[in-house]
């Protein structure tokens, strides 16, 4: 759809300079991290009719009222650093860039909480907390660019999730503007969980209250395992000794780390464990326990000299792309118990060229990033084909009780697989009440009809494409 003049005027009157619909702006907002080839436009309308930059909650409220009244799709966007299409339009309409919202930051030292606006970049928030002796409990590896609002909307996990869980576990309260225009404060856990991972389909988050913790120094410990089966055993047992973060790579990725950052890590499955340590005795105690656990699981301890400053590359995965012309990526959450064979198969995929980087997100599951690096710039068809191949591999992961990292656009239809049947039921009921006209980020979470052949859903179309186009 294209905005009718009358409707456009209403938005312009409301937002003034915060409304733009020139072609350049629209094009720039037509993507997220995944720069998909033009051919994928067969699947969706990735160019919006306009982009808006509201600065207050009141402006967002009025914006939603106008959108609902005129049935204009509204797609919220924050950092745009994920590649699941969550912030890309499916049915044109308006993109709401939350970066315009007034910045807010209030640390409550006694409650150990912080009040922030959704557009706050996570590394900036962490820096400000660190200045006051505090730290976020967990945060994504796209730390330097992801925003706190985007992370929550994706239902993300990340560094520290082994100990403190994901986005949902950090939230104390959310201020949201519902698609009806109602402003609401959400504090109950069962309501909060509807918004986490909802990709902005239930409205727009305008303020967040998060748990924080004292900033305790992190110390790193490393070990290696020979096979995915051993790795799984290692991950399971190390999870029991209460580390802050458990981060691991497959041998192919280790090879790349060695080349890019000058390490000499053994080219096996490597686990880097981080532990919050305040004093030396605690370090010695953990070291003993870690060594014992790794040996019991059949792994080898990595001399700590091998991993000096390795935490410094924690947020630099993309640096490995320097030597390459193109890359593709996808992400999945997997259970330790049932995924070792899947991991084995995945590692041998594409002539063993797949890079895997994982992070434990609790005691039982881990998130797994898959990367493919290319020495040549991919043509549109090859890019689509390899993307679909990665997509197929995520779908295969579902068969071993895994689930996509988030729904976004590309995994819309998998909400139930991610959050369970009960939550999906609640989500749908709530969505019906707060967004009767379905204007808030259509195409996300609930699978839309496939643009080219509306008898089937996008979910089915992608499933078929990944099966037959390869």
Partner 1 sequence: MSSLQGWQVDVLDVAQKCVYCGYCSLCPTYKELKWEVNHPRGILDQIKLYYSEEIKDKLRNDVSKQLFESVFLCTACRACEDICIVDLPLLKVWEQIRQEAFKRGRWNPKLLSLYNRVKDFFNIFGLPTEERVSWAALSGMNMSRRTQKKAPLAYFVGCQASYSGKMGSIAESVVKILRKAKLNFTILGTEERCCGSPIFLAGGFSVGKTFAKHNLDQFKKLGVKKVVTACAGCYRAFKIVYPRVLGEEWDIEVVHISELANELFEEKKLKVINPIKEKITFKDPCELVRHCGLSDAPREVIKNIPNVRYEELPSNREESLCCGGGGLLKLNDEELVGQVNSHLISEIQYSEANIVVNGCPTCLDTIQQGIKQREMDVEVIDIAELVSRMVEGKK
Min separation Cβ 121 and partner 1, Å: 6
Q: Looking at 60-68, 279-287, 319-327, 408-416, which segment touches partner 1 (CB under 8 A)? A: 319-327
CA 280/CA 219 separation, integer angstroms: 11
Q: Does 156 participate in binding partner 1 (rule CB under 8 A)?
A: no
Select the residue interacting with partner 1 from 100, 165, 335, 362 (CB under 8 A).
100
Q: Is the distance from CB of 267 to CB of 251 less than 8 angstroms?
A: yes
Q: Looking at 16-24, 108-116, 160-168, 251-259, which segment touches partner 1 (CB under 8 A)? A: 16-24
Q: Does 253 participate in binding partner 1 (rule CB under 8 A)?
A: no
Q: Looking at 42-50, 142-150, 274-282, 460-468, which segment touches partner 1 (CB under 8 A)? A: 142-150
Q: Does 318 participate in binding partner 1 (rule CB under 8 A)?
A: yes
Stretch 75-94 residues interacting with partner 1 (CB under 8 A): 79-81
Q: Does 31 participate in binding partner 1 (rule CB under 8 A)?
A: yes
Min separation Cβ 78 and partner 1, Å: 10
**Coil/strand/helix, residue 312:** helix
Q: Does 96 participate in binding partner 1 (rule CB under 8 A)?
A: no
The sheet that has 355-360: what strands, in order across it? 300-302, 218-225, 269-276, 245-249, 355-360, 365-374, 326-335, 403-404
Q: Which residues contact 273 (CB under 8 A, 6 or more apart)?
A: 220, 221, 222, 223, 238, 243, 245, 246, 247, 290
* Binding mask of the shown chain, residues 324 to 343, with x at each position contacting partner 1 by CB under 8 A: -x-x----------------
Q: Which residues contact 216 (CB under 8 A, 6 or more apart)?
A: 135, 276, 277, 278
Min separation Cβ 69 and partner 1, Å: 26
The HSE-up count of residue 98 (CA atoms within 13 Å, CB side) is: 32
Q: Looking at 15-23, 271-279, 360-368, 423-431, which segment touches partner 1 (CB under 8 A)? A: 15-23
Nearer to partner 1, 78 or 230 (CB): 78
Min separation Cβ 440 and partner 1, Å: 21
Q: Does 24 participate in binding partner 1 (rule CB under 8 A)?
A: yes
Min separation Cβ 341 and partner 1, Å: 32
Q: Does 99 participate in binding partner 1 (rule CB under 8 A)?
A: yes
Q: Does 22 participate in binding partner 1 (rule CB under 8 A)?
A: yes
Select the residue interacting with partner 1 from 183, 321, 386, 456 (CB under 8 A).
321
Q: Does 319 participate in binding partner 1 (rule CB under 8 A)?
A: yes
Q: Does 261 participate in binding partner 1 (rule CB under 8 A)?
A: no
CA 388/CA 136 separation, integer angstroms: 35
CA 68/CA 71 separation, integer angstroms: 5
Nearer to partner 1, 180 or 329 (CB): 329
Q: Alpha carbon of 177 to those of 61, 200, 375, 379: distances in Å? A: 6, 10, 45, 42
CA 228/CA 189 separation, integer angstroms: 36
- Following DSSP, what letter does each residue of 107-168 receive, concatenated? EETTTTEEEE-TT-BHHHHHHHHHHTTEEES-B-TTTTT-BHHHHHHHT---BTHHHH-SHH
Q: End-to-end distance of the chain based on CA atoms, in angstroms?
A: 32
Q: Does 260 participate in binding partner 1 (rule CB under 8 A)?
A: no
CA 145/CA 138 separation, integer angstroms: 15
Which residues of this chain interact with partner 1, rule CB under 8 A?
Answer: 20, 22-25, 27-29, 31-33, 35, 51, 53, 79-81, 97, 99-100, 119, 121, 124, 131, 142, 144-146, 316, 318-319, 321-322, 325, 327, 377
């Amino acid at each position: 759809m294209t905005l009718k003049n009358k409707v456009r005027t209403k938005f312009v009157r409301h937002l003034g300079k915060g409304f733009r619909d020139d072609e350049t702006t629209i094009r720039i907002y037509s993507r997220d991290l995944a720069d998909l080839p033009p051919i994928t436009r067969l699947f969706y309308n990735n160019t919006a009719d306009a982009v808006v930059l509201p600065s207050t909650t009141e402006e967002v409220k009025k914006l939603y009222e106008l959108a609902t009244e005129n049935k204009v799709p509204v797609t919220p966007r924050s950092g745009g650093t994920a590649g699941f299409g969550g912030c890309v339009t499916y049915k044109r309409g308006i993109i709401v860039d939350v970066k315009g919202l007034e910045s807010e930051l209030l640390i409550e030292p006694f409650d150990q909480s912080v009040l922030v606006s959704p557009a706050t970049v996570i590394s900036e928030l962490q820096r400000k907390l660190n200045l006051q002796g505090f730290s976020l409990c967990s945060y994504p590896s796209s730390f330097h660019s992801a925003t706190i609002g985007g992370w929550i909307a994706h239902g993300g996990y990340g560094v520290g999730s082994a100990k403190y869980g994901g986005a949902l576990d950090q939230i104390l309260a959310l201020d949201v503007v519902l698609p009806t225009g109602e402003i609401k404060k959400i504090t109950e856990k069962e309501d909060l969980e509807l918004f986490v991972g909802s990709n902005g389909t239930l409205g727009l988050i305008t303020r967040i209250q998060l748990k924080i913790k004292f900033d305790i120094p992190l110390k790193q410990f490393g070990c290696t395992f020979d096979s995915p089966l051993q790795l799984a055993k290692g991950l399971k047992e190390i999870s029991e000794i209460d580390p802050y973060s458990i981060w691991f790579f497959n041998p192919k990725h280790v090879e790349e780390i060695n080349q890019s950052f000058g390490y000499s890590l053994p080219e096996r499955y490597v686990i880097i464990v981080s532990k919050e340590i305040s004093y030396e005795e605690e370090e010695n105690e953990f070291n003993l326990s870690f060594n014992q656990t790794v040996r019991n699981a059949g792994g080898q301890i990595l001399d700590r000299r091998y991993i000096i400053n390795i935490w410094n590359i924690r947020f630099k995965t993309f640096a490995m792309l320097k030597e390459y012309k193109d890359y593709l990526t996808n992400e999945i959450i997997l259970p330790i118990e049932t995924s070792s064979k899947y991991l084995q198969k995945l590692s041998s995929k594409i002539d063993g060229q797949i890079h895997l980087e994982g992070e434990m997100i609790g005691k039982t599951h881990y998130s797994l990033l898959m990367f493919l690096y290319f020495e040549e710039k991919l043509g549109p068809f090859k890019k689509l084909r390899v993307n679909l191949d990665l997509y197929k591999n995520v779908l295969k992961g579902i068969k071993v009780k895994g689930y996509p990292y988030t729904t976004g656009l590309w995994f819309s239809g998998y909400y139930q697989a991610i959050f369970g049947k009960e939550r999906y039921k609640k989500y749908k009921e709530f969505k019906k009440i707060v967004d009767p006209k379905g204007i808030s980020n259509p195409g996300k979470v609930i699978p839309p009809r496939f643009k080219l052949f509306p008898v089937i859903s996008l979910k089915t179309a992608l499933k078929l494409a990944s099966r037959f186009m390869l």
